[in-house]
Copies of this chain bind each other. A is one copy, B any other.
Amino acid sequence: MPSDATPPLQEPTFYILLSLSQEAKHGYAILKDVEDLSSGKIKLGTGTLYGALSRLLDQGLIQRVDGAGPEDDTHPGKPRKAYALTHSGLGVLHDETARLDGLLSAARRRLKELRA
């Protein structure tokens, strides 16, 4: 059964999954990474971020992992919590990328005819 009927991801959720696709990160690191990833266009609010993380955990698209790297010794703020993509999460990310591709190529087709 090919990963079926996942409803379209919204922009923040997509970026969060994408940010985790390389390596495990903790919340605040995702926040900063997404800002880079989107060329500064997207600045997640913490409400959006932690709300999404909680939801994605429930859905099994991400999971908790311990110690994000060896340099988790002394840092300010509350204790870090690291997250990683699950197998299922990676699948959804690929599906979603394919969906965007379909959307974009449909748009280009139509918008091209406009210039003709």
Number of interface residues of A (CB under 8 A): 28
Return the CB mask of A22-50 against B: 1 if under 8 Å, else 0.
Answer: 10000000000000011101000000000
Return the CB mask of A89-116 against B: 1 if under 8 Å, else 0.
Answer: 0000110010011111011101101100
Least Cβ–Cβ distance between A40 and chain B, in angstroms: 11
A72 at the interface (CB under 8 A from B): no
Which residues of chain B have C-beta atoms less than 8 A from A37's C-beta?
Answer: 106, 110
Q: Is the interface of A mostly helix, strand, loop or mixed?
A: helix
Chain multiplicity (copies): 2
Tell me the complex Cα distance, A14–B64, Å. 35
Q: Which among B22, B41, B101 is the interface contact of A110 at CB below 8 angstroms? A: B22
Which residues of chain B have C-beta atoms less than 8 A from A108's C-beta?
Answer: 97
Extra contacts, 16 of them, besides A8-B11, A93-B111 (Cβ < 8 A), are: A10-B10, A14-B103, A14-B107, A18-B106, A18-B107, A18-B111, A21-B111, A22-B110, A37-B106, A37-B110, A38-B102, A97-B107, A100-B100, A100-B103, A100-B107, A101-B104
